[in-house]
């Protein structure tokens, strides 16, 4: 947790549809459970700042999702 705070932002992976063509760096373009989780986690780490994150997007060919450490 200390390293994340020192970095100043959280790198967070979110699942997007295969046809996603928007800019993933704009938070308002992403929705879903993984995005909500990233916002909540960033708010907890950065004491209320839910925007202190950098999104990385990926798709999963079989339609399932998983959580992991990045």
Domain count, the chain: 1
Give a yes or no: residue 66 inside a domain: no
Q: Tens of pLDDT along 18-46? A: 766 665 555 556 777 888 888 899 999 99
Give a yes or no: residue 67 inside a domain: no
pTM strictly above 0.75? no
Give a yes or no: residue 64 inside a domain: no
10-28 residues labelled b (16+ CB within 10 A) or e (exposed)? bebbbbbeeeeeeeeeeee
Structural domain boundaries, residue 24 = 2-58
Total residues found in the chain within this entry: 70
Give a yes or no: residue 53 inside a domain: yes
Give a yes or no: residue 27 inside a domain: yes
Q: Cβ of 30: how many Cβ atoms within 10 Å?
A: 22
Give a yes or no: residue 46 inside a domain: yes
Distances from the Cα of 16 to the Cα of 1, 7, 42, 60, 63, angstroms: 26, 25, 19, 8, 10
Asked if the model's pLDDT at residue 2 lies above 80, the reply is yes
- Can you give the pLDDT at residue 69? 44
Give a yes or no: residue 15 inside a domain: yes
Give a yes or no: residue 63 inside a domain: no
């Amino acid at each position: 947790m200390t390293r994340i705070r020192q970095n100043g932002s959280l790198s967070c992976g979110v699942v997007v549809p295969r046809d996603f063509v928007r800019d993933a760096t704009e938070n308002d373009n992403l929705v879903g459970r993984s995005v909500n989780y990233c916002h909540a986690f960033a708010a907890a780490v950065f004491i209320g700042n839910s925007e202190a994150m950098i999104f990385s997007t990926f798709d999963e060919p079989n339609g399932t999702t998983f959580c992991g450490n990045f």
